[in-house]
Amino acid sequence: MDLGLTDRVYVLTGASRGLGYATAECLVADGARVVLSARDADAVAAAAQRLGGPERAIGLTADLADAQTPQRLVAAAREHFGRLDGALVSVGGPPPGSAASVTDEQWRHSFETVFLGTVRMVRTVAENLAGDAGGAVGLVLSTSARGPVPGLGISNGLRPGLAGMAKDVADEYGPRGVRVVGLLPGRIMTDRNVELFAATGDPERARAEAEAAIPLRRIGAPAEFGRVAAFVLSPAASYLSGVTVPVDGGVLRSL
């Protein structure tokens, strides 16, 4: 199936590695062009080079906590590639710990980056797409948007709010041709999950226990998420909006 991605342009945040980078790989493989952002200058430059360099990908050093970041990324897409068709908004996971054990400062910092930074990015991209021919915005959330994940109290608090925000933006900008979709990754073998397994003190046991709780009995690969995200952002998903899509091997029990 042709996803219709040829020469379309997408901004991806937090995309020097992990789920953002995996999505960028899938988009570029199908003919799209991408603007990557991350806080590590060397990492994002290397990621853009691996994807084909300036003809296919550029990298910008940026932090979603900076209020100027969304407009900088939108401008970079237009200046370098001449258009903008959508975005995948991803931000590093907040620190682990129960909701009662993490500090006020950890809550405050996570709100500024994970929550408010995402809100700013989504509304900026949606407004710019609405002024053009429409497009799509995907949010990398977590299965914690539907059910709490033990040991991830901040995520359990912030992700459901972002899912509600995404639905609100989808309602507001839908009449102007903009689609908004939340993506709910479960256990995907990214650096984040490697760190979470390591934090238990027995990563092999932690991985085995996690796999036993997944109906497919295995941890997902980043590319498996990337293919779903690329489809969601593509014109092939043109009637998909205002929903959250689990990519979790069947873990969520809600229908």
pLDDT tens digits for range 108-132? 999 999 999 999 999 999 999 997 7
Q: How many Cβ atoms are within 10 Å of 74's Cβ, its own excluded?
A: 20
**Domain boundaries of the chain, sorted by first residue:** 9-247
pLDDT for the residue numbered 116: 96
pLDDT at residue 60 tops 90: yes
Average pLDDT, the chain: 95
Backbone torsion region of residue 121, taken as left when φ is above 0, otherwise alpha when ψ lies between -120 and 50, otherwise beta: alpha
Backbone angles phi, psi at 125, to 5 degrees: -65, -45
**DSSP element (H, E) containing 209:** helix 203-212
| CA 196 to chain centroid | 19
Contact between residue 15 and residue 36 where contact means Cβ atoms under 8 Å apart: yes
Q: Indicate the DSSP class of residue 214.
A: S
Give residue 78's pLDDT band: very low, low, confident or very high (50, 70, 90): very high
What's the mean pLDDT in 210-224? 96
Q: Indicate the DSSP class of residue 69.
A: H
* CA gap 110, 173 in Å, rounded: 27
**Proportion of the chain above pLDDT 70, given as a percent:** 100
**Proportion of the chain above pLDDT 90, given as a percent:** 89
pLDDT for the residue numbered 92: 78
* CA gap 179, 236 in Å, rounded: 12
Domain at 9-247, CATH homologous superfamily: NAD(P)-binding Rossmann-like Domain (3.40.50.720)
Contact between residue 88 and residue 15 where contact means Cβ atoms under 8 Å apart: yes
Which tokens belong to 70?
């969304």
**DSSP element (H, E) containing 106:** helix 104-110
